[in-house]
Structure 1
Amino acid sequence: MRNPIISIENIYYRYPEASTAYTLENISIELYPGEMIAILGPNGSGKSTLARLLNGLLIPTKGKVIVDGLVTSDEKSIWEIRRKVGMVFQNPDNQLVAALVQEELAFGLENIGLPPVEMKKRINEISERMELSHLLDFPPHRLSGGQKQRVAIASVLALEPEVLVLDEPTSMLDPGGRKRVLWELHRLRQMNKTLLLVTHDMSEAVMADRIIVMEKGKLALEGDPKECFANIELLANIGLELPPAAELAKRIKQKGLVVPNVPLGVKDWVEYLCLQ
């Protein structure tokens, strides 16, 4: 039996300025090594708050979050937890701090005391993978929103965390930048890294091993993509769309035609049609 790398145990969270209402209520989730989880939900459902609890940026009001045996509420463990769990924010301006891109990529590496030779090696590798080499001498504030996002992602990847939490990482990217980021996520999965992806993009959600659907601070649904996207009525009531392939199947089925059961992509449709 596998041991979870992160355990979320009956957590509640209330922002200090909120007098009574909880943003999150009675959430329990386990994340396993090498697993990719997508968190879905409408705005205000608590997705980003949950993400920030995983590396101690926020501490539960009740309950606890355990990262590889370390409790996030223990101040003595917080820096080790943040070495294990990297966080990429939706808005890159919230995490870019350096004057130049190469300094941004080096910032976290310097904080963990990486030797200069190894630091330079990592910066070169990640800047090439994310196609940032030509921007290393540029100030981050002069970059486009998509370029800033790629720098923010690269700065976290350079630290080689065991768990990577990404809050809408492709929302500001053009198609080319989005393709590079998704390719990098695929590479990390092959390396047995644990990924948690907060997203509104259903074509990204279908890549996950498991989907968690949030509604008003509570868990509304959990399961693999086929299980979750089979709950068409529930998702519609929450205000979520289906992946394009599943939406096509739903509309064809409404016309009275036979369609495959919850197709998630082009591959599912091709396999189905080839059998007809």
Structure 2
Amino acid sequence: MKKIVLCVAIMLCFITVGNAQIQTPLVSPKAVVEQMVGLTDIKIEYYRPSARGRAVYGELVPFGRVWRTGANNNTLISFSNDVKIGGKSLKAGEYALYTQPKADSWDIIFYTDTDNWGLPEKWEESKEALRATVKPEFLNRKVETLTIGINNLDNDFGYLEIAWEKTMVALRIDVPTNEIAMKSIEKTMSGPGQAEYYAAAQYYYQTGGDLNKALTWVNAAVEKNETGKDIPYYILRQKSLIQAKLGDTKGAIETAKLSLAAAEKANNQDYVKMNKDSIQDWSKK
């Protein structure tokens, strides 16, 4: 019996050890930087190596070679809006951030392929969304751990700063704050748009609200349609449903036919079927 108990105890011990997870800190810990510049969100994710007594630039990071700008996975940087760097446009989105340090200048590269461990196996210039050259600054203090951030903020710009050992580079990033603010002001001051009128009409229809108000709002959504563009089939569909519920069968059928044509053009078979079914049903009344 004692032998059985002992065997069970040993088995439990092995199971416990097998399920245990050893946790140790990363040599280069991960950092996430999120900064709003004006009305643009900029996010940086990177792993932070430390010098640990090593000479960095020219040795650990050789001059003239493309560097992952961090450790482990790609250093990633993303922008919520289009930005400008050195007069060149960079589209909103996420990029791998690479650099090419030299003794008297650095190239900072925004690369569209973001899923590499370190450098890509084959570097493709076509994937360089933007490359900018900056002058390095030599610091009078030592930065032990690689530090990347967005600093020296203004409503219209901020600086991407990369600092390690006794070197820092700073790249100005211009953001479209005034453009975004003016569009927001104009939209708000001009009153509700197509989407708002459609949402209000849909809500009143679905919740049994005032259908005459719903019709007024869905008509406003139709009138707010941008010049040169087709009226969306889903707005026309909503109008036909409101008309039918108000007893205007003839008007509902006419509107449903417009929605059907728009749905066929957009190749949305769900709306094609719904409109055909409604037209057939309403035509019997």
TM-score > 0.5 by shorter chain: no
Task: State the TM bucket, normalised to the shorter chain.
Answer: under 0.3
Report which of the two has the higher share of strand: 2
State the TM-score, normalized to the length of structure 2.
0.19
- Structure number having the greater helix percentage: 1
TM-score normalised to structure 1 length: 0.20
Q: Which has the larger radius of gyration?
A: 2
- Relative contact order: is structure 1 or structure 2 higher (C-alpha 8 Å, sep ≥ 6)? 1
